Amino acid sequence: CDTGFGHRLAKRLAENGFRVYAGCLSSVSDGACVLNLVPNVHVLQLDVTKEDEIDEAYKEIINADYQTAWRLCLVQFCFIAHDLSLLARTTARRVSANAALWAVVANAGVMTVGPLEWHCMDQVRALFDVNVFGVTRVVVKFLPLLRKTGGRIVIVSSMFGRMTGAFTIPYCMTKHACISLADGLRRRFYGTKLRVITIEPTAYRTALSDPEEIKRRMDELVASLPPEAKKDIDPARVSKVRAMARVFVEGLLRDDPDEVVSDMVLAVREEYPKAHYRTGGTADAVVRFLNHLLPSETADYVLASVAKSNGVCKKVKDSTEVYAKEDSI
């Protein structure tokens, strides 16, 4: 909950009468300090790659004071408790005041951008450790409590959990895995009260998708390569890939992350939530539909044609020149 969707979700639910346990990568980060000032929010230290921190979060949840008539909800990087009177107005299902956990929202995510061959295996593992294994660790830990309450597992994946970009292969692999996890759990618990939901937004303007942050991470990829691999990488090629990433990311980015947060709230609170919330605009919906409908060969051709279009090529050229000048300074 330090930044991004999780941070906004914690504040939104707290403002609407929810009690929030916000698990942050750093409990003393700027974002965590902001959340500490929000009524009904309690910040916890939580790195989902560390079993001991997940165990401590679990203990905090099961030892919560249920006598205050709160109903708990865990959001990965956020732990949330619902006021029962509020729930009674929004859902027909009720539980006793001593119910434990209502929902897990698995919101952890990191990203790299660059050709696959620029990634060493340690970097690929690091992506999976957060985006896949971190999600799985938290879900497995809290699943017994969720089964008792018939609550929610909400997994934040991505539009790119259904399609794969040429320069985001490891990231897309992790998001595909998250959707597979959610689909399997949803089918396993079909017919029970437990609901499993995915949030699959397009790209939004957050810290994760900031063009300068993407450039920094791409530079880290190249810098971490072994010397024999690095010598085969042309600096001009690096500048062009940076430019292509920037053009395509900025072309996809939507400006209002609260669109995603609203769907996350629905996933937690609706009596009959959708299996998938695919947040985005009309153009995103068309891209999703065509990706699902078209044969792979046709989709590949369309994407390649867009990438080679005059407008895109000009933007890439202009951006490449900017990056080349920056590198020469």
**Per-residue confidence in pLDDT tens, the chain, 329 aa:** 667 788 888 888 778 777 777 788 877 677 777 776 777 777 878 889 999 999 998 888 787 655 443 445 554 454 544 443 334 334 434 444 444 577 888 888 888 888 898 898 999 999 999 999 999 999 999 899 889 888 899 999 999 999 998 889 999 999 999 999 999 999 999 999 999 999 999 888 887 777 788 888 888 888 888 887 777 787 888 888 877 777 777 777 888 888 999 999 999 889 899 999 999 988 888 888 888 899 999 988 887 777 676 555 555 555 554 444 555 44
Do residue 156 and residue 248 come from a single domain? no
- Per the DSSP assignment, residues forming a β-bridge with 18 are 82
Question: Tell me, what's the pLDDT at 303?
Answer: 78
Question: Tell me, what's the pLDDT at 123?
Answer: 92
Rounded Cα distance, 313 and 146, in Å: 50
pTM of the model: 0.84
Question: Tell me, what's the pLDDT at 224?
Answer: 85
Question: Tell me, what's the pLDDT at 214?
Answer: 81
Rounded Cα distance, 81 and 78, in Å: 10
Retrieve residue 128's tokens.
């999976």
Do residue 220 and residue 143 come from a single domain? no
H or E stretch covering 102: strand 101-106
Retrieve residue 320's tokens.
């490449």
Do residue 160 and residue 303 come from a single domain? no
Rounded Cα distance, 312 and 69, in Å: 56
Host domain of residue 139 = 4-204+254-293
Question: Tell me, what's the pLDDT at 88?
Answer: 37
Question: Tell me, what's the pLDDT at 329?
Answer: 46
Rounded Cα distance, 217 and 222, in Å: 9
Per the CB < 8 A criterion, the answer to whether 249 and 312 are in contact is no
Rounded Cα distance, 191 and 181, in Å: 18
Question: Tell me, what's the pLDDT at 55?
Answer: 92
Do residue 225 and residue 302 come from a single domain? yes
Per the CB < 8 A criterion, the answer to whether 239 and 320 are in contact is yes
Do residue 159 and residue 214 come from a single domain? no
Question: What's the number of domains the chain is made of?
Answer: 2
Question: Tell me, what's the pLDDT at 318?
Answer: 53
Do residue 159 and residue 226 come from a single domain? no
Q: Are strands 41-45 and 18-24 parallel, antiparallel or unpaired?
A: parallel
Q: Provide the CATH number for the domain around residue 18.
A: 3.40.50.720
Do residue 153 and residue 280 come from a single domain? yes
CB proximity list for 261: less than 8 A, separation 6 or greater: 5, 8, 9, 12
Q: What angle do CA 198, 175, 167 make, to 5 degrees?
A: 140
Question: Tell me, what's the pLDDT at 74?
Answer: 54
- Give 210-230 as a DSSP string: -HHHHHHHHHHHHHTS-HHHH
